[in-house]
Chain A
């Protein structure tokens, strides 16, 4: 079971300038079931990325309880489960080829070497990069770099996939095809996904559930369930209506 449970998660950033601290997250409680696709939606600075940092174990200074697959999260190799993470930027190691970058992740999570070739080729095929395995990241476009990063995240066969505005740095046309690609892969694999975005339409297109955050200090303001069937279609008028509803709520309700 790759479920997630946050109970009263709060986060205070302390610094020299603000010794009393800056409250980024205020008692966020959230349960994500296995195989669910959940979007965290909110304005920048509302702490939604902080949730991912806590879930991934990168940030361990928080209040509240965080359980992933039933176990309390701590960082490094002791993280209870295997994670895939797609960052806002591709975060590829520039001195390694596309293949080398995925190998780095496979080796890190401890996938036996005998499986690497098949896995890497399979995932590069799926993201449309099978001719680019031996190419270095700087020779790829931004969209191709992000596809590499997606292939890397799926190749480790994660139980949970965390995505932090992965398409916000791409142009809209590329972002569209990437969302379709992601949904296609997700339909096959049905990983538990927590996807952070500030784009209402993107959230409606991708998610089962949309969790809307308030501006800082972030807390959960509202939840929407997206009832649309999958596979979803960009041209679906119901998707458009849903997006309008969510957008209206997010912008109209802002203090």
Chain B
């Protein structure tokens, strides 16, 4: 609470020092936020952004999980894919975005391809590590007690990979957020990135602040209200997570 008050005070001071054109004060920013919220622009553009984000996140998770599992399970898969996943990680996301737009056009399909493409290599690497870390000795234990193959996968293998899957999802979401806005700046006609770019063109700093703050609030909301509770629930048995 104190830190919030201090932040507002510093913000206001900065606004006075650098003029509202460069640093709009809290009051200006909040009224810009209220304006966009009441006009319905916020929900509309966030809906576009979230749809792209979730669609490409789902694709990236699916592709990344399949590749990561193949790499973890089979030596051949590792030999074949290792290099290419590294290459995929190295190529700047801007290149994926441009190529996707040139292939599919400046539309949602191009955007989703660009985002998913940028994201899946890091997911694949996380899953790969997770599958490699599976403890064969626990699987043998289950076999000795005549556990069926399906039960072994559900009760022994998946719980071991789950922390890596969660890490991959978190990391993936972080990448997806940023790339989605970036893609919208470059080739969108709606969405948060588009609105940020629009405010930039108008040199409307209060709007830039307003969109950024909303964006941050929603990201934090997803982190604190969805990811964190899932993680706490899944991994409550782990000594390091229990507070």
Q: Contact residues of A with B, CB < 8 Å?
A: 56-58, 75-77, 79, 82-83, 85, 87, 89, 91, 93-96, 104-105, 107-110, 136, 138-139, 156, 162
A192 to chain B, nearest CB (A): 15
Of the stretches B59-67, B79-87, B96-104, B138-146, the one at the interface is B138-146
- Within the complex, the shortest CB–CB distance from A169 to chain B, in Å, comes to 13
Distance in angstroms from B120 CB to nearest chain A CB is 28
Question: How many residues on B have C-beta within 8 angstroms of the other chain's C-beta atoms?
Answer: 20
| Minimum CB–CB distance for A97 against chain B, Å | 8
Cross-chain contact B143 with A76 (CB below 8 angstroms): yes
The interface stretch among B30-38, B149-157, B216-224 is B149-157
A7 and B235 alpha carbons, distance in the complex (Å): 48
B239 at the interface (CB under 8 A from A): yes
**Whose C-beta in chain B lies nearest to the C-beta of A152?**
B145
Q: Decide: A76 near B145, CB < 8 A? Known: A89-B137, A93-B138, A136-B237.
A: no
A-B contact list, 15 entries, CB within 8 Å: A57-B143, A58-B140, A58-B143, A76-B146, A76-B149, A83-B146, A85-B141, A93-B138, A93-B155, A93-B159, A94-B237, A95-B237, A104-B155, A108-B147, A139-B239
- Pick the 7 closest A-B CB pairs, nearest first: A108-B147, A108-B145, A85-B144, A91-B141, A105-B145, A95-B237, A77-B146
- Complex contacts, A95 vs chain B, CB 8 Å: 159, 235, 237-238
Judge whether B148 is part of the interface by a CB distance below 8 angstroms: yes
User: What residues of chain B have their CB less than 8 Å away from a CB belonging to chain A?
Assistant: 137-138, 140-149, 151, 155-156, 159, 235, 237-239
The answer for the CA separation of A245 and B30 in the assembled complex, in Å, is: 89
A58 & B239 in contact (Cβ 8 Å cutoff) = no
Cα–Cα, bound, A79→B148 (Å): 12
B190 to chain A, nearest CB (A): 44
CB-CB under 8 A from B147, the residues of chain A are: 104, 108
How distant is B234 from chain A, measured CB to nearest CB, in Å? Answer: 9
Residues of B within 8 A of A139 (CB): 239
Query: CB < 8 Å: which of B138, B148, B238 contacts A77?
Result: B148
Q: Closest chain B residue to A105 by CB distance?
A: B145
Q: What would 13 more interface pairs be, CB under 8 Å, given A58-B140, A93-B138, A104-B145?
A: A56-B144, A75-B143, A82-B146, A83-B144, A85-B145, A87-B137, A91-B137, A95-B159, A95-B237, A104-B147, A108-B145, A138-B239, A156-B145
CA distance A110 to B151 in the complex (A): 12
Q: How distant is the Cα of A104 from the Cα of B131 in the complex, in angstroms?
A: 22
Shortest distance between the CB of A234 and any CB in chain B (Å): 31
Q: Which residue of B lies closest to A110 (CB)?
A: B146
